[in-house]
Amino acid sequence: MERARKLGSRAILRRLVSEQKQQPLYKSSRYVSSLSASVAVQRGSNVVNSHSFNSRSLVQFVGSRSISVDALKPSDSFPRRHNSAAPENQSKMAEFVGFDSLDSLIDATVPKSIRIDKMELPVFSEGLTEAQMLEHMQDLASKNKVFKSYIGMGYYNTFVPPVILRNIMENPGWYTQYTPYQAEISQGRLESLLNYQTMITDLTGLPMSNASLLDEGTAAAEAMAMCNNILKGKKKTFVIASNCHPQTIDVCVTRADGFGLKVVIS
């Protein structure tokens, strides 16, 4: 039995070497090799499955169909997996608007004065598969030197209890891939803000609550704008403590320019 398997393997290798340049007559499955023995072979009314597929049958099976080394090449390349228009579809779309190819369409629409020569990237000239790209990026990342920052600037390391981390910050129910500016009720961010506002009104006893802002600088600038609105623009000077974080002061200065306010840092 061992000898039969060796003979079958040698026959497959000889076949591959002799037909290396031959193009396959079919496009094999993405995940199943064209040499897979799971394909059933019919003999009259009987079907021979993978359990009864012996070495002799494998040799006969290999000899009856075209085999190419392309079936052994990596199949995790990006273009074949990209969900986009196929080349034939691109050609049809270009022909529909009067061009024979996508390149000719670009030549007619993009001025030559703003084009650049083709970038020479020898490492990527033939394209990388997903596995090769991950290996390349990991190699680049390994060259980084990670140091601990002691600057702080208002963003200090804090301890978040695991129960909050697990159920709030790492719970997909509280966030989606959409921006928080879209007002779909399905977004967990809106629900979390509602819970936050409810808690604040319970704690303060006030009939209203804020709804959180992006960061400290934005909150400070909004507070400055609120003061300006309350005074109806009668006073144009806004004082900021000098020990505030510089990024907070910068945001206030930028926002004050639009209101015609004078920011005094003291």
Domain range spanning residue 226? 216-265
Residue % of the chain over a pLDDT of 90? 25
What's the rounded Cα separation, in Å, for the pair 232 and 238?
14
Single out the residue of 132, 142, 10 nearest to residue 75, CA to CA.
132
| Residues 197, 232 share a domain | no
Q: In the predicted model, what is the mean pLDDT of residues 147-174?
A: 80
Asked whether residue 147 is assigned to any structural domain, the reply reads: no
Asked whether residue 94 is assigned to any structural domain, the reply reads: yes
Q: CA geometry: angle at 241 spanning 239 and 244, to 5°? A: 130
pLDDT score, position 40: 41
Asked whether residue 171 is assigned to any structural domain, the reply reads: yes
Give yes or no for residue 13 having a pLDDT over 90. no
| Residues 238, 199 share a domain | no
| Residues 89, 57 share a domain | no
Q: In the predicted model, what is the mean pLDDT of residues 135-143?
A: 93
pLDDT score, position 88: 85
| Residues 86, 68 share a domain | no
pLDDT score, position 112: 85
Asked whether residue 178 is assigned to any structural domain, the reply reads: yes
Per the structure, the count of domains in the chain is 4
Asked whether residue 209 is assigned to any structural domain, the reply reads: no
| Residues 48, 30 share a domain | yes
Contacts of 178 (CB under 8 A, 6+ apart): 184, 187
Q: In the predicted model, what is the mean pLDDT of residues 146-156?
A: 78
pLDDT in tens, 29-46: 444 444 444 444 444 444
Asked whether residue 24 is assigned to any structural domain, the reply reads: yes
Point out the domain boundary residue: 19, 51, 72.
72
| Residues 232, 191 share a domain | no
Q: In the predicted model, what is the mean pLDDT of residues 168-194?
A: 67
pLDDT in tens, 183-229: 555 567 777 788 889 999 999 999 999 887 878 899 999 999 999 99
Q: Residue type for 110, please?
A: V
Question: Do the bridges between strand 237-240 and strand 262-265 make them parallel or antiparallel, or are there none, so unpaired?
Answer: parallel
User: Token pair of 23, please?
Assistant: 């193009």
